[in-house]
Chain A
Amino acid sequence: MNLIEREDQLMIAFQNGDDTALEKIYTLLKPSLYSFVYRYTRDEQLSIDLVQDSFMKLHRYKQYYDPNKGKLKSYLFQTAYRLMITKLNRRKKWRSFLPFLTPIEKGEIDHADRLTIRDAVARLPDKQRAVILLFYYHDMTQEDIAEILDIPKGTVKSRLHKAIQSLKDELGGEFHESGSI
């Protein structure tokens, strides 16, 4: 039994009343879910809140998960992604009304400094960032990403292509240097 099948089996056990199964699902999926949310937001406390909220939602609405419709991992990532977008939009709205709530951000990247991959990913448009994070770091298929982000598969392909191109452009200098080695 591979890991994905094991997660799905655990979820079925949880739906059938085995509460310890949720703890096991949490142990299995927490690291990848946290990594995704953290790489997207770069906010540790927000990422912790979102992971906890996603599992609370999974616990509360466990009967809504249907293993025939998709993998548990995709279902949980979809839940977390939706919660994250809602929370970030709400935050943006509050900050436009109350600018003094805007936290101190790290200084703008000095152009003389080398752009790190972290900065380059952070500078990607939100929609492209989600696609590249899911595809590269979480080995999701384009079908899974389409399901999580609720977009057509063709859109996933084009966003992935654009994101790769943008990252190459952002890290342009380094690409040229690596090519000359």
Chain B
Amino acid sequence: MNQDPFKKETYLGMKLDEDHVEVPDFPMNPKMKRWDRLVNVLASPAKNPVEPVISTTTGFLVLKVAPILAGTALTFIQLIFFL
């Protein structure tokens, strides 16, 4: 298999040629420091991690009830240990 496998795959080659990349103009030395890069990552738009939960009625209900249940449990734990 030393020959070019794309010789037989002309259509695939044609499709691959359709993907052009625009190379932006940027200097060799980074202007952004490590800290700026971290801030960039933290500040970029992110998806809502609880979205799959709130999309269903049960999930939404659990999300509403869970803090109340957790709060009640914490209250009981405090009552048991500190009273």
Chain B's interface: helix, strand, loop or mixed, by majority?
loop
Indicate whether B24 reaches chain A with its CB closer than 8 angstroms: yes
Write out the residue numbers on chain B whose beta carbons fall within 8 Å of the beta carbon of A157: 1
- The total number of A-B Cβ pairs within 8 Å is 82
**Shortest CB distance A129–B (Å):** 12
Indicate whether B35 reaches chain A with its CB closer than 8 angstroms: no
Inter-chain CA distance A117–B5, complex, in Å, is 18
Q: Are B28 and A55 in contact (CB under 8 A)?
A: yes
Q: Are B28 and A48 in contact (CB under 8 A)?
A: no
Indicate whether A5 reaches chain B with its CB closer than 8 angstroms: no
For A, the interface residue count at a CB cutoff of 8 angstroms equals 42
In the complex formed, the residue of A with least CB distance to B1 is A157
Stretch at the interface among A66-74, A75-83, A161-169: A161-169
Q: When each residue 1-27 of chain B gets 1 if its CB lies under 8 Å from chain A and 0 otherwise, what string results?
A: 110011001011101101101011011
Inter-chain CA distance A167–B73, complex, in Å, is 54
Q: Are A104 and B46 in contact (CB under 8 A)?
A: yes
Q: Are B19 and A164 in contact (CB under 8 A)?
A: no
Q: Are B19 and A117 in contact (CB under 8 A)?
A: yes
Q: Are B49 and A99 in contact (CB under 8 A)?
A: yes
Write out the residue numbers on chain B whose beta carbons fall within 8 Å of the beta carbon of A136: 6, 13, 16
Supply 14 A–B pairs (Cβ within 8 Å), ascending by A. A31-B23, A34-B21, A35-B21, A39-B19, A52-B29, A56-B29, A99-B49, A103-B45, A105-B47, A121-B16, A161-B1, A164-B5, A167-B15, A168-B9
Q: A residues touching B (Cβ–Cβ < 8 Å)? A: 22-23, 26, 30-31, 34-35, 38-39, 44-45, 48-49, 51-53, 55-56, 99-105, 116-118, 121, 136-137, 142, 157, 160-161, 164, 167-168, 171, 174-175, 178
